[in-house]
Structure 1
Amino acid sequence: MTAASGGPVAGDGSVGPLVVVTGWTAAGKSTLVDVLAGAGLRRVAGSAVLLPMLAEVVPDKVTRLRSWLCDPAAGLLRDGGTDRLADLAVLRSVTDRPGGVVVESAGSVPLLLSPYNDALVIRLAASAAVRADRVRRLLGGTVTRAEAARIVQRKDASTASACLAAWGLDLYDATHQRRYDLMLCCPDEDACTDPGQCVQAVTAVADAACRVCCCYLAADNGAATAAVAALTATVRQYQPWVTWICPTLTNAAEVSRQRWRDRLAYHTAPAELPRMGASC
């Protein structure tokens, strides 16, 4: 990953950027992670750690998706023990990241990070119908729309159940949106009208945000001005896909690693959250 100036950025010289990409089934995580890994970041996939723990043989992605149609209860309920170990293994693997790391997680890893962290946390989203359509296309149209929707629903439910059992975290709770630095969502409701443009929009905004984050980690004020300008222009170009972007990414008044770590103090809530009272 490079800054706007074109030079390599690895934070303070010993720790590279950490990008965490999260979202529900078929939200576009793997596609974005592929792009960021192609830019030089080491890829860590939560599923690559978890699946070998759950079974001796790890099937390919298409086979795994089809398996959700076989048994309605398969994978929906797990005791959380294996998922907890897998999440800990992922978190441990990213503590040493001289060249930078991009993590693909269905939901738990970004919520387990300290609120005071170096990561750029990106949440991808799309309607259930759009995600089901993506699954159907990935499976070559060999499943019906209803079957694709069932795959998405069951896989989402399994992810949420495992996270709740492992950590007591409810992935459906909108409060977690406060933890994300960038949220990108396909603007279509029933089916993605232009998948190519959707990928282009998501990768362009995410890449531009990564470059700004790298400037903060390197305390590179000179590069930050150009990187923020480029991100602002990219967000303007792909505005329909951008549902939330943290203020720190678009304001480079103070560029330092500590300012990036403190960014949650400057976030505003990206969603209306019902409250019974306040806590401190």
Structure 2
Amino acid sequence: MPSFDPVIALSRGLEILRILNEERRSTVGSLHKASGLNKATIVRMLETLVHEGYVLHDAAQGFYAPTGRCLLLSQGYDQHLWIGSLAEPIMRDFRKEIGWPSDIAVFDRDAMVVAQTTRESGSMLFSRRPGFRFPLLGTSMGRAYLAFCAEDEQARIIARLAAMPGPSTELARQPKKLAKLIADIRERGYALMDDAYSRDIFDGKVWAMGVPVEANGQVFASINVMMLHGAVSVEDGVRLYLARLKATAARIAEALTENHRATLWVPGAADE
């Protein structure tokens, strides 16, 4: 338990900065929609962030954008990098085997962070680089991680997401619907990207299947394979690639546990 109540103004400022980094270019209106904060509060937060050099304001076009100074806030975080380096040769083999790209991601408090990808530059409509942060509840990797992580960690994640306003966390405030989704994922052994997320991010042209990277009951990450709806149906993709995706996840888990047992950090092992 924390010793003091959280500083609400700081929490709000960090939330605005997080959304700015996701949207790349934001307006007061888009930040209001994503955060649920009133516009007067958002303007105060933005002016403070501009003053501190983390955000720039293009008055002529009416948008706000993060500056390079934001990179200073992530210099101490490198967990995804060494997991990505171990996974990269295994994922490269998988890409050669099936022809479709995949990502591996680690959990980070309320989102997933890409550790490595086999997407080629400009491919699949959208290029994710290591370090890219994306939501749990709409994505195959986020759903796979949530469904297969330990029950106590799962409960903490859901409670945290439920307290965060916005459409990306709405499912966390629908416990019966979310519980059924988790049960279905665990039963079939894989998660699928939410259709609404695919429409918002990929214009509905892409779907993804994700599985956990786990060993001895511990989930270290999750991995996906991404395909075009026009080329491979969900049914055919599961039939053709699920077993190979799980085998790739198992190879990565073995590399993590056997080769780097002394330094392996499990995302849910330490309470915040």
Q: Is the TM value for this pair above 0.5?
A: no
Which structure has greater strand proportion? 2
